[in-house]
Amino acid sequence: MDENETQGRPQAGPTPGDGIRIIGTEKVAAPFDGAQGEGPGGRAEDDPSDWPSPGPRPTDRPFSLGDLDDPTAETGRFASQAPSAPPSRPDRSEPSTTTPTPSRQGRPQRSDLTTRLLTGMGIGLAAVILFKLGSLTALVLVLLIVTPAAAELFGVLRRAGYRPATLVGLVATVGILIGAYMKGESAIPLVLGLVVVFTLLWYLVGVVRDRPTVNVAVTLLGFMWVGFLGSFAALLLDPRMFPNRHGVALLLGAAVATVGYDVGSFLVGARFGRHHLAPAISPNKTWEGLIGGTVASVLVGAVVVSQISPWTTSRGIALGLVVAVAAPLGDLCESLLKRDIGVKDMGWILPGHGGVLDRVDALLFVVPATYYLVRLINFGG
């Protein structure tokens, strides 16, 4: 059709598929659409540039310990716009008027995948070296992982408009890790009680006065999720409970099986993923990926982990099954909170992986499950 033929003819108007609200229609562009597939790091979540948002995205700058100097300061590039209370999010039942930009379809590019693999291999090599040096060195590694993960979470919560008692949460996280290593399970109730008391005092004395009920809750959430669950790694490293470096081997086995689950779920989900596991929480998780991850974790447990004493083939298979349940729950729980807050990653420190918490979210569920598996089967001593 030439140009003259189009003159005088009305142009086609926008359609619901264009992402623009059309009166009388129900179909709108879904702000969280994604392709099937799961990555071994970062898990191919949706690009935040595709999300309709009432304000700036809160992931422009990571949390810094320097932010603790001023308890009233807000972090992030948009500090002047940060609300004193959690911002309201748009009603998901209302159609979006924002036209989404073309997404990456949830699948990592080859260069991104290479970066993820290289970063993961580097982290794994460093972990193996440190673990070989003994339980105390392994505890240092756990501290260097769990504490930054907690700092990332508190930083994201601050940029979302909450005012957690970050200093209390970080000190409690370090304290429960060291206490669990030195005193075992008996240290945990003491630290739990102290963190509740000092969090309440933080708001009582006026260090922060905004919305104490909500902010006490998010402080305890951050500590319990990262600090408390992370302390089970220190319990596994307790040389009195697990002598002969067996605790190091137990924790290493849990980490290896979790990596096996991540890789298996990614490869199978990216290739065969069709049926969504939890589309309202993470559209990129599929049942096919879950099955692939389960098979991979069991195989890794039986073939690889079984070579690490005191693990055996039967114990490795049991570990693989535990990982197959705990790892996806950890992934989904983090996705649930990230979606509510409105962020893609908790941080940026690991190239191709996002933040530290993005890498250990599954382990935060796997390690406690492994600890109780070991206690139930009664091995490792």
Both 285 and 238 in one domain: the answer is no
Here the tokens at position 341 are 């807050």
SS3 173: helix
DSSP 73-98: PPPSTTGGG--SSPPPPPPTTSPP--
3-state helix, strand, coil in the chain (%, to 5): 60, 5, 40
First-to-final CA distance of the chain: 81
How far apart CA 208 and CA 40 sit, in angstroms, is 39
Q: Establish if 215 belongs to a structural domain.
A: yes
Q: Which of 190, 212, 242 is the last residue of a domain?
A: 242
How far apart CA 38 and CA 35 sit, in angstroms, is 9
Q: Which of 242, 270, 303 is the last residue of a domain?
A: 242
Both 295 and 260 in one domain: the answer is yes
Q: Which of 242, 271, 300 is the last residue of a domain?
A: 242
Label the pairing between strands 282-286 and 276-278: antiparallel
Q: Establish if 92 belongs to a structural domain.
A: no
Phi, psi of 284 (to 5 degrees): -90, -5
In 168-327, beta strands by DSSP E: 276-278, 282-286
Q: Establish if 202 belongs to a structural domain.
A: yes
Q: Establish if 8 belongs to a structural domain.
A: no
- Helix and strand numbers, DSSP H then E, in the chain: 12, 2
- The CA-atom distances, in angstroms, between 143 and each of 97, 179, 366 are 45, 12, 17
Q: Establish if 176 belongs to a structural domain.
A: yes
Q: Establish if 71 belongs to a structural domain.
A: no
DSSP secondary structure letter of residue 76? S
Q: Establish if 265 belongs to a structural domain.
A: yes
Both 327 and 255 in one domain: the answer is yes
- H helix intervals, 276-361: 287-303, 313-341, 356-360
Q: Establish if 87 belongs to a structural domain.
A: no
Both 210 and 262 in one domain: the answer is no
pLDDT in the model for residue 349 = 63
In this structure, are residues 71 and 145 in contact, taking their beta carbons and an 8 Å threshold? no
In this structure, are residues 24 and 43 in contact, taking their beta carbons and an 8 Å threshold? no
Both 379 and 249 in one domain: the answer is yes
How far apart CA 272 and CA 123 sit, in angstroms, is 28
How far apart CA 316 and CA 226 sit, in angstroms, is 26
Both 151 and 227 in one domain: the answer is yes
CB environment 360-372: b (16+ within 10 A), e (fewer): bbbbbbbbbbbbe
Both 189 and 149 in one domain: the answer is yes
pLDDT in the model for residue 355 = 80
Here the tokens at position 109 are 């590019």
Both 231 and 265 in one domain: the answer is no
In this structure, are residues 231 and 238 in contact, taking their beta carbons and an 8 Å threshold? no
Both 330 and 261 in one domain: the answer is yes
**Residue 213: closest CA among 250, 283, 163:** 163
Domain with 188, as residue range(s), is 135-242
Both 311 and 367 in one domain: the answer is yes
Both 271 and 285 in one domain: the answer is yes
Q: How many domains does the chain have?
A: 2
Place of tokens 């129900």: 26
Q: What is the dihedral sign for C-alpha 50, 267, 291, 338? A: negative
Instruction: Give me the tens of pLDDT residue by residue for the chain, a chain 381 residues long.
Output: 544 444 444 444 444 444 444 444 444 444 444 334 444 444 444 444 444 444 444 444 444 444 554 444 444 433 334 444 444 444 444 434 443 333 334 455 555 556 656 655 666 676 677 677 788 989 999 999 999 999 999 999 999 999 999 999 999 999 999 999 999 999 999 999 999 999 999 999 988 888 999 999 999 999 999 999 999 999 999 988 888 788 999 999 999 999 999 989 989 998 998 999 998 898 888 999 999 999 999 999 999 999 998 999 999 999 999 999 999 999 999 999 998 988 887 766 655 557 889 888 999 999 999 999 999 987 655
Both 256 and 354 in one domain: the answer is yes
Here the tokens at position 157 are 């919560």
How far apart CA 82 and CA 40 sit, in angstroms, is 33
